[in-house]
Structure 1
Amino acid sequence: MKKIFLLAALIGFSPIFSQERDQIRERDEISPDNSWLKVGITGGVPVGDANNASSFALGADIRGQYLFNPNIAIGIASGYTNYFGKDGFDDFGVIPAAGFFRYYFTPSGLFLGTDIGYGFVTNVENNDGGLYVNPQIGYHNRDWNIYAYYQNTFLETDMDIQNVGVGVTYNIRFN
């Protein structure tokens, strides 16, 4: 008899549970409040090995972001960073294929994040690329992100392509 009452109670409460599942599903759907495309530019100064061959780095940044909650976001990142050659060196570049993580302390304000993936290298002989990391610290609001970064591509040879700089991205909301 207890099992029948328990079963009846569960069936009676099932609309409540299914309503909670539906609300969770609605929050998980892509919306302008939790997902957007970030498009921007970066500019930096080559450091380490890259400083010997380049005087300036200029890049385009594109990201797709999903916000799990008001503080944690993940996404994919790509773009192109061009390193302008100096002293007889040709220009070369890095095309990242990376995932990223960001932690937003408040809805507008400080954030910390990093990109991790593979950096494809252009115009460098005997090298396809390597591990790509790009930690960032910056300021954000609903529409803009302004940040400082350190970008490093660990090449398969004994050199790294690194730069330190600033970036700005604009958030394009999904509708």
Structure 2
Amino acid sequence: MKNLQNIRILFVAAIAMLSVTTASAQSTEIENYDQKFKLGFGVSAGIPTDGDDYDWALGGDVRLQYDLSKRTSLTLTTGFTNLFVGNDAPDLGFIPAKAGFKAFFWEDQFYAMGEIGAGFAVTNGYNETSILWAPSIGYAGKHIDVSLRYEDYNKFKTNQIGLRIAYGFEL
């Protein structure tokens, strides 16, 4: 468990350093960048990385993104995720609400993103609210966004590695 905690700290530190490096590189860009909103609709699937609390996850989401510059964005994400639990136990469905920061680091298409928020359990008698955090890496083209993320839920006693595929467009 101590090793997992150390890995989490290193991963968050790496994303923070990447964000600082990306932000310092912004000073050489054109200052009159046309800031804009983007909207994306995604589906994601995940598998647990510890324990036997659930077998797999499936979800859908909506993400609003505001571009601060050509290489940095703020995000708000919500949707629905279902954790499929084995052993005839009821599945856990929850609504995530996350805020995040996205930094593009290569070719203005590859990015690292960190999100933090809450997951509100809404199905099968569960009424926990969990803090969740999710670092991710991904690729974003003009309309397609594919990312791989680690997502941790403290009250749901689990975490996952998830793959998200999304379609997005400018507003």
Q: TM-score range by the shorter chain?
A: 0.7 to 0.9
Note if 1:39 corresponds to 2:41. Answer: yes
Larger CA deviation: 145-154 vs 65-74: 145-154
1:85-142 deviations in whole A, cap 9, x for unaligned? 2111111122111111100124543100011111112347564212111111011111
Aligned to 1:104: 104
Q: Distance in 1 between matches of 2:127 and 2:161?
A: 22
Can you give the 5+ residue segments of structure 2 that lack an aligned partner in the other structure?
1-30
- Residues of 1 paired with 2:126 and 2:104: CA distance? 40
Matched residue of 2:154: which SS?
Answer: strand
Greater C-alpha Rg: 1
How big is the shift at 1:70? Answer: 0.6
Contact 1:53 1:87 in 2 (8 A): no
Distance 1:133 1:151 in 2: 6
* Structure 2 residue aligned with 1:76: 76
SS state of the match for residue 55, structure 2? Answer: strand
Moved more, 122-131 or 34-43: 122-131
Q: Check the 8 A contact 1:54/1:89 in 2, yes or no.
A: no
| Closer/same/farther in 2, CA of residues 163 and 57 from structure 1, 3 Å limit | same
Q: Distance in 2 between matches of 1:59 and 1:144?
A: 17
Map of 1:1-175 to 2, 5 A cutoff?
Answer: 27-28=34-35, 34-49=36-51, 52-106=52-106, 108-123=108-123, 127-155=127-155, 160-174=157-171
Q: Percent identity?
A: 24
In structure 1, stretches of 5+ residues that fail to align are 1-22, 29-33
